[in-house]
Amino acid sequence: MKSSLLEALTKIVGQQWVRHRRAELATYAMDGLPTHESVPGLVVMPGTPREVREIVRLLHLIQVPFVARGAGTGLSGGALADPDAVLITLTRMNQILRIDPIQRRAVVQPGVVNARLSEAVLPLGLQYVPDPSSQAACTVGGNVAENAGGPHCLKYGVTTNHIVSLEVVLPDGSVTRLGSTQGEAWGPDLVGLFVGSEGMFGIATEITVRLERVPESVRTMLADFATVRAASESVSSIIAAGIVPAALEMMDRACVAAVEASIYAAGYPTDAAAVLLVELDGQADAVEAEAITVHDILVDRGARQVRSASTAGDRARLWQGRKKAFGAMGRIAPDLAVQDAVVPRSTLPAIMDQIEGIRRQYGLTISNVFHAGDGNLHPNISFDRRDPDVAARVRSACREIMAACVAVGGSITGEHGVGSDKIDYMPWIFDAETLGAMRAVRRVFDPTELANPGKVVPVHACREWCAVKSARTPTLRSGQA
């Protein structure tokens, strides 16, 4: 990239916060997904909202595209920048600005690590609920961009349900505040529109989140089943009984085997076809009573064994395998293609059969770990991308799995976002008109499409929308007033 740009950026943030050497830039060539790679032209690391504004204003002035990035743990190739673009890394902006325990709000900078926020509010009896698997590393800003989820989103909702207000730098460098601390907007729900826009509407520089009380009582149960179908039916029965567990997580045999073979071994039965984790929370008496109901359902649906834990230590042990499942899978082979799809819950057993068929057809190792309560699947393929034949089979298998999920009325992503990885699948679930609407909305925020270009919306598949104001303003024709 031009040395004048390097100079101008250096002037804004200081020399130590700009990266331009090839070896330095290579660090930023990937996010959490090993199948996509792109080396950015420059990396700049602002430390304040003012620096973000100045950087964006400069880039807008000279029409250079940019990509905002948090910790780079994303799983859709969404935070990758092309060689003609500047990567704006926000991890230096990691201050928790305010915590209001009465109103249950926290105001944070985008680079605050998800788990750190929860740790900071825990002594006040509060928690920040969205808990993606990468929570020890991922940032709240990245969570906002991707509308991140996690196991506890079944009961409490995903990121969008926990963000009440945002200060954003728009792609022209102007600053605006969306939403309010109260959660009631000053106008249409622009916070809702911004969350999950994958860095294409601007950069959030200050985020006000809703905090929840830590529940009085929590009970975690672990059941294992001889078939995935039986485990899935338990899930449906629990929900039909009117119980909304805090989490309902399932792991298949391959996933359990990976966990138990790793240092994260949690004592899960390796001969089970499926292991189900159920977490109940709420008032002590209620949790106690609901646990009995859930236990009965699990046994009734064929659980071979049900373990139960209510102390923090015992619960952590039951969770350990699930929380570390991705890490354990990562040990099977050099690379892990983490997939993310959603199906209507009732189709879970059928879709699991199809995934097994695809696995056999392509001769791959697929481990399934998923949020069974909301039908959010993660069929993960362990492979070695250095073998081009294997890499090609992985791509084909991913595509077929996605097609199967879409065919039963599902979605191509439940929490990881579209990014680069799933952009080709977008026309599978959205027609040209709707894709056109998305692009038109993107242009409302970013008329010259500088922010994270080339992601989410496949431009070639959009019907053209013209957002130019019509010269003619209709007036009443029939005289009715």
Partner 1 sequence: MSDAIYTRLRALLGTTGVDRDVNGVPRATPESGDALSLVCRLAHEEGWKIRVEGRGTWLPSDAPADLAVSTRALEQIVSVSPADLVATVQSGTPLEALRRRLADYGMWLAVDPPGRPERSIGSVVATATAGPLRHGYGPVRDHVLGCTVATGDGRLVNAGGRVVKNVAGYDLTKLQVGGFGGFGIIAEVHLRLRALPRADVTLLARGTRDALTSAARELVSGHLLPGALELLSPALAAEADWMLAARFVGTDAAVQADVRRLGSLGELKWEPLPAERTAAFWSVAARGSLGGPITLRLGVLGDGVDEAIDLLAHDLDEGLVSAGAGLGMIRWTGDAPLERLRALRRAAATREIPMTLERAPWPIRRALGHFGAYREGVGQIVGRLRDTFDPGQCLSVALEGVE
Q: What are 312-316's contacts with CB under 8 Å, separation 24+?
A: 314/220, 315/218, 315/220, 315/279
**Which residues 1-60 are close enough to bind partner 1 by CB under 8 A?**
none
> Based on CB atoms, which residue is closest to partner 1, 259 or 426?
426
- Name which position in 157, 173, 269, 349 contacts partner 1 (CB under 8 A): 157
End-to-end CA distance of the chain: 60
| Cα(404)–Cα(24) distance, integer angstroms | 40
By CB under 8 A, tell whether 249 contacts partner 1. no
By CB under 8 A, tell whether 451 contacts partner 1. no
- Name which position in 181, 305, 311, 361 contacts partner 1 (CB under 8 A): 181
Residues in the interface with partner 1 (CB under 8 A) total: 108
Q: How far is the CB of 158 from partner 1 (least distance, A)?
A: 7
**Which residues 394-423 are close enough to bind partner 1 by CB under 8 A?**
409-418, 422
> Based on CB atoms, which residue is closest to partner 1, 9 or 52?
52
**Which residues 287-326 are close enough to bind partner 1 by CB under 8 A?**
288-290, 293
> Based on CB atoms, which residue is closest to partner 1, 239 or 265?
239
> Based on CB atoms, which residue is closest to partner 1, 39 or 214?
214
| Cα(179)–Cα(187) distance, integer angstroms | 8
Q: How many CB atoms lie within 10 A of CB 184?
A: 9
By CB under 8 A, tell whether 215 contacts partner 1. yes
| Cα(327)–Cα(369) distance, integer angstroms | 12
- Name which position in 55, 342, 390, 451 contacts partner 1 (CB under 8 A): 342
Query: What are the distances in angstroms from CA 416 to CA 90, 142, 169, 211, 374?
Result: 19, 11, 23, 22, 15
| Cα(188)–Cα(186) distance, integer angstroms | 7
> CB-side exposure of 125: number of CA atoms within 13 Å?
7
- Name which position in 33, 58, 343, 351 contacts partner 1 (CB under 8 A): 343
Q: Going by C-beta distance under 8 Å and a sequence separation of 6 or more, which residues neighbour residue 407?
A: none
**Which residues 268-287 are close enough to bind partner 1 by CB under 8 A?**
282-286
**Which residues 183-202 are close enough to bind partner 1 by CB under 8 A?**
183-193, 195-197, 200-201
Q: How many CB atoms lie within 10 A of CB 143?
A: 35
**Which residues 95-154 are close enough to bind partner 1 by CB under 8 A?**
102-103, 146-147, 149, 153
Query: Two tokens at 148?
Result: 């991140």
Q: How far is the CB of 121 from partner 1 (least distance, A)?
A: 15
| Cα(62)–Cα(392) distance, integer angstroms | 39
- Name which position in 127, 442, 454, 462 contacts partner 1 (CB under 8 A): 442
By CB under 8 A, tell whether 242 contacts partner 1. yes
By CB under 8 A, tell whether 176 contacts partner 1. yes
